[in-house]
A = this chain, B = another copy of it.
């Protein structure tokens, strides 16, 4: 129970970031005040400025955190025994980890921010390139791709489609009414997404028409 904090100032930083993502998901970056964050974290406003230069820096740090979270997620996905299981790990993480659309709301906001802030855009592009590189790799090594059951499309092209659908379903996620649970949203999204995966990696045994 009693954790020994390795670096207390790191704990403070992540405590603040944890509070920040809750506020950002609830209100968005620019409608969240520093007082909101401090209240959510249970600390004073001034203390935030001991750990972050300004509000911009909090947003940037959140984007960085998102980058390393995706990196970890990718590593975890690579462990999965089949391509399909890897894809499921990757593309439904945002439904379960935090309960109510916290992550998807944050990511949509991040893209909105990226459209105006080139620094954020670079970072998001970087995250995307890394993740897509990883998935392209996963696809290349998969038996599905090596057996040639990919409609003559390159692994890279398949990855592009998979990511497009994933982003599209994430956008849809923020439209779902609050009363829908994470599990429900996950199921709905998996339904659509799996349809694409099956199509892309169709084992030619099943006939398209009976």
9 CB < 8 A contacts A-B: A25-B115, A105-B112, A108-B108, A121-B174, A148-B208, A150-B208, A161-B196, A164-B165, A164-B169
List 11 additional contacts besides A125-B175, A199-B199; criterion CB under 8 Å: A28-B115, A31-B116, A101-B115, A104-B115, A112-B112, A121-B174, A121-B177, A160-B195, A164-B169, A167-B167, A204-B208
Q: Which residues of B have CB within 8 Å of A51?
A: none
Q: How extensive is the interface on chain A, given as a class?
A: 35 or more
Nearest CB in chain B to that of A149: its residue: B208
Chain A positions 187 through 206: 1 when the CB is less than 8 Å from some CB of chain B, otherwise 0: 00000110110011010100
A47 at interface, CB cutoff 8 A: no
Distance between Cα atoms of A151 and B114 in the complex (Å): 37
A199 proximity list for chain B (CB < 8 A): 151, 153, 199-200
Contact of A172 among B164, B169, B178, B208 (CB under 8 A): B164
A192 to chain B, nearest CB (A): 5
A152–B116 contact, CB under 8 A? no
Chain B nearest CB, measured from A145 CB (Å): 12
Interface of A is mostly: helix
Q: Tell whether A166 is near chain B: CB-to-CB under 8 Å.
A: yes
Contacts A28-B30, A208-B204 hold; do A163 and B152 have CB atoms under 8 A apart?
A: no
Residues of B within 8 A of A193 (CB): 164
